[in-house]
Every structure is written in structure tokens, then in C-alpha cells.
Amino acid sequence: MSLFLAACNASPSSEPSNDDEGESGTDTEQATDEPKQGGDLIVGSIGAPTLFNDLYSTDISSSDISGWIYDGLVVFDENLEPQPDLAKEWKTSDDGLVWTIKLHEGVKFHDGEPLTADDVVFTYEIPLHEDYTGPRASSFEKIEKVEAVDDTTVKMTLSEPYAPFMDSLTYGILPEHILGDVPVKELGEHEFNTKNPIGSGPFKFEEWKEGQYVKVTAFEDYFEGRPNLDSITYKIVPDANALMAQIANGDVHQASVQSPDLETAKKLEEEGKIVLSTDLALSYTYIGWNQKNELFQDEKVRQALTHAIDRETMISAVLNGDGEVAHAPSSPLSWAYNEDVPKFGYDVEKAKKMLEEAGWTPGDDGILQKDGKKFQFEIKTNQGNKAREQIAQVVQEQLKQVGIEVKPKIMEWSAFIEDVTAPNWNYDAVILGWALSADPDPTAIWHSKEREAGLNFVHFSDPELDKLMDENTKELDQEKRKEMIAKIQEGIVEQQPYTFLYYPNDHYALDPSIKGFTHHPRSEYYNIENWWMDK
């Protein structure tokens, strides 16, 4: 369960949800009858995918669809506990360095070829290769050697104990017989990732009409049995208004509901048109300040920016109060969440004073200036996410009060992701959200080594925190590791590379015919092979 950028986090909440007892809570399995086969499940999304290979993608839309096409060795359940997937069982040596993983027998790829231990070795050697260009290298760097013991047994040897190792076992297994001759440096751009991805997952890739939909069909020879649904159509919808209209009309059977549309969704539920499932998401929404831009290189300036943004009012006005201010780079759902990090409350006068101390003073037009340069920048976010679009406008208004000129820019999701991430970093500030991993290791987002090709696209760097991050993954005692991660979170928050905005809930609208759904804090389509439509 890796980190991915989220196109849509529905809304925030302060507490782990009690909605399983509330009027909109349906986060337990709904199936009461025998599952039926058949049906084309149409799911709606405002985020278009970019490619179907988790070793290279960074966005949640791509990850969601990849999860239907590929299987990993391990999957995390709704309680964020690792469970067998392609791996039937695993064991580790006493020193934690050698992991022996036993695969299920009889697993096939969608083209009928068997999936063996050699495919696992092939997949895991890609991010270990010196020519690997994707953003996931740090998830695998502690793996020293991967060996096939026999057709269904893999041995992985680590260079040191690695606490997040189970997270590394969630990536989809790729077919060596198709990609084995492709140079690793060319894999990220290979047409396999977009034209004909072949995995061993419950659904086979069928078609991708860019900007319209992605279709997958049931894999008859899936090792755990044919999925109940005949097919899934991932329908790409221009914006949240269109998505709500299609949900109301029954043109979309399942979709995430954004906070501004929550009341509408509740009315649809009262009318019997949908079932609404709500729970706290393992994620947070933030503004990222690009430290490659000299405007945001001064820690005091970043702190002042957070003081100048009224997040409480933002949540009340934009999200209809459905949320709580976020302060930490974590989620209240995580066992490593630190609620005692420094707090940067709304304080305009303090923000002005801090900006003045940083050398920014008002010019004749009221805009702050320093060394002949005005404090003005562009803030980007993704099209179709109502909350983020409105937040961009709120930030524009609120920063104007301290003499900063902000220009919102709303972009189509895939183009936006390409702009923001490596190697382009073509932005000043972004409004985005992280769908977090089950393991709380902060390395992938915050370590200095992740600036060039990884997910640290705000270019945050702190050598002392780097050391702590390096140490945290070696610590296998969870309480000791929690203390280390707490210090890392405090250090990051003190420097405000992000203004942490809010912790969202996930709200899912489900057609009443959908059965077998289980609400997962991280995976919108968890166990979708077990869903069925009672029609």
C-alpha cells in the first residue's frame, strides 16, 4: 500500500468515524444474499489515470485501476493489517534479514502464462536497478538480493532490518516473459504501461479511451476464482457537479462524494437512490510550497503563510464544517500520529510581523516587496475538485490581507500531476492530498534523497531529520519507532514545507444494487472482485 497523490478527498473529520452507527454509515459488508455473477459496474472519477504500473505512477487514479489488473504479494485489510495476496505465507529469519515467501500455485497472467517466482524476482529487480527512473526506489533500497528458490518460493535478503518491509510487498507483479528484454531505463515510458498492461489480477485490461473511460473485464482464470462482476468501467467525469448528476441518474454506480456535495448525497440516500458510506480516510490535504522557488526558502516566511491562512473558516465555508484542521504530516488513523506537534494558528498580525522580519515590506501598490521583487505567485490544483478549487480562491483572498498576490490555476488532473512532480516541478504552490501508506515511514515524502526523482517534490531538506528517517526504518520496536517518527513529524511541522489543511473523510455513493462492499480507509475499491450487483 504505497503513497499516492489523491485527486479527491471528500471531506475532513476530527475523529475516527463512528458513522457505522450513524445515519450515513454503512462501512460493514452489505451482502446478505448469495453473490451473483454479471453486470458492468460503472465507477465515476474526476481524476484520469496516467499509466498502469505502480513502480512508476504517482496518482491514486492510476493506482486504483492497477489494483484491478495486478496482484501484489501482500494486501492490507480494512484494519491496515497485512494479509496474503499472491503470497500464501511468509516467514522471516530471527535477525529479520531473510524473508522466505511462498506463492500460491497455479497463478496465471491474463495471457495464460504462469506467474512464478521468476516474475517476482524480475519485478523487484527493476527498482533496484541503477537505470530505474521511477519514484519508488526508496521502498526497495534495503533489499540486497531477491532469489527464486523454486517456482513458488522467493527469498529476499535485506541489508539491514527494515520495519516497513511489508509495505514493499504490495506492488503488482509484472510479467517477465513480456518485459524481460526491455531495458530498465525504458520501462517507465514503455507502451505496456498504457496500451496493454497484463497482470494476474482479477480483471483484465480491455480499453482506455483517454479522457473518457478505462474498461476492464473479469479474468476467468483468476487464481481465487472469477470475480463476480463481468466488467468495470472507470468513467472519467469532468467535474463534481457532473458526477453528482450522473450518480442521481444512475449513470454511475459508485463514486467518491466531495464535502460540498455531501448534503445532496444525503438527500439521494433518503430518496433511496444511493447508499452512502462514510469513514475517516488515511490521508490529509495540504498546500505545498516549492522550495526551488526562492519565495519559499525562508522558514519564517512559510510559517507566516500558515498563520495567514484561516483553516477553520476554510473548513466551515468550503467544506460545510465537515472536517478538522490538520497540523501533522500523518493521519489520526495512523499508529504513529503525533497530536502534539507545533500548532500554527490563524493570526494575521503575527503573519505580517514575521514577513516584515523576513525582509518583506509593502510597496506603493500594497504588495509586499523585497530586493525589488514582489511577493506574488501561482497556486495550482486539479480541475473538478470543488473543495480545492474554492480553497485556492480562499487562499488568494486571505493572503491578499497580508500583501501577497496569489493567482489560482486549475488544471486537468494528469497534466497537473506531470507539472508538479519530477522532473518538471513546474509550480510555485499546490493544493493536493496524500493517500498514505499503512506504514508511517515518512522517508518517501520528506527525505532529501527523494528530491531528485522521488515524491519530495517541494524539495524539503533537513540533514538531522534525514538521519532520524534513516534510523526509523531499522527500529523494529514499534513504541521506540513511534517516538522517532514523532520527532520527525515535529521537525517537519516546525519548518512548514506544507501548510497542512485538513483530515478528510471518504464518502462513497453506492448504487443500492451493489453488494459485498467493505469500507477501507485507504482503498476505494478494496476487494472489488467480491462485489456483486443485485439486479
For 108-125, what is the HEC assignment? ECCCCCECCHHHHHHHHH
Please state at what angle helix 348-357 crosses helix 299-307, rounded to 10 degrees. 160
Q: Is 505 helix (H, G, I), strand (E, B) or coil?
A: strand
Determine the pLDDT at residue 58.
83
Q: Label residue 312 by pLDDT band (50, 70, 90).
A: very high
110-119, 274-283, 439-448 — most confident range: 110-119
How far is Cα of residue 425 from the mean position of the Cα atoms in its chain?
A: 18
Q: Is 260 helix (H, G, I), strand (E, B) or coil?
A: helix
Determine the pLDDT at residue 4.
61
pLDDT in tens, 275-302: 999 998 899 999 999 999 999 999 999 9
505 vs 462 pLDDT, higher one: 462
Determine the pLDDT at residue 6.
64
pTM for the model stands at 0.83
Please state at what angle helix 240-249 crosses helix 262-270, rounded to 10 degrees. 0
DSSP-derived secondary structure for 359-414: T-EE-TTS-EEETTEE-EEEEEEETT-HHHHHHHHHHHHHHHTTT-EEEEEEE-HH
φ, ψ for residue 197, nearest 5 deg: -65, 130
Q: Label residue 5 by pLDDT band (50, 70, 90).
A: low
Closest by CA position to 395, among listed 384, 383, 414, 409: 409
pLDDT in tens, 230-288: 999 999 998 889 999 999 999 999 999 988 899 999 999 999 999 999 998 899 999 99
The DSSP call for residue 59 is B
Residue 351, CB half-sphere, CA atoms under 13 Å: how many?
Answer: 22
503 in Cβ contact with 433 (< 8 Å): no
Q: Catalogue the long-range contacts made by 490-494 (C-beta closer than 8 Å, 24 or more residues apart).
A: 490/338, 490/340, 490/341, 490/342, 491/462, 491/464, 491/465, 492/329, 492/442, 492/446, 492/460, 492/462, 492/465, 493/327, 493/328, 493/329, 493/341, 493/342, 493/344, 494/299, 494/342
pLDDT in tens, 63-96: 999 999 999 999 999 999 999 999 999 999 998 8
Q: How far apart are CA 494 and CA 20, in angstroms?
A: 36
In Å, what is the CA distance from 125 to each residue of 73, 84, 167?
A: 15, 21, 16
**Residue 2 pLDDT greater than 90, yes or no:** no
Determine the pLDDT at residue 19.
32
Judged by average pLDDT, the poorest of 134-138, 207-211, 394-398, 464-468 is: 134-138
Greatest alpha-carbon pair distance for the chain in Å reads 75
In Å, what is the CA distance from 526 to each residue of 94, 118, 236, 352?
A: 33, 27, 20, 47
223 in Cβ contact with 108 (< 8 Å): yes
Q: How far apart are CA 54 and CA 112, in angstroms?
A: 22
Determine the pLDDT at residue 232.
98
Q: Is 264 helix (H, G, I), strand (E, B) or coil?
A: helix
**Residue 14 pLDDT greater than 90, yes or no:** no
Provide mean pLDDT across the span 317-330: 90
Provide mean pLDDT across the span 2-25: 40
Q: How far apart are CA 414 and CA 47, in angstroms?
A: 7
**Residue 406 pLDDT greater than 70, yes or no:** yes
Determine the pLDDT at residue 138.
83
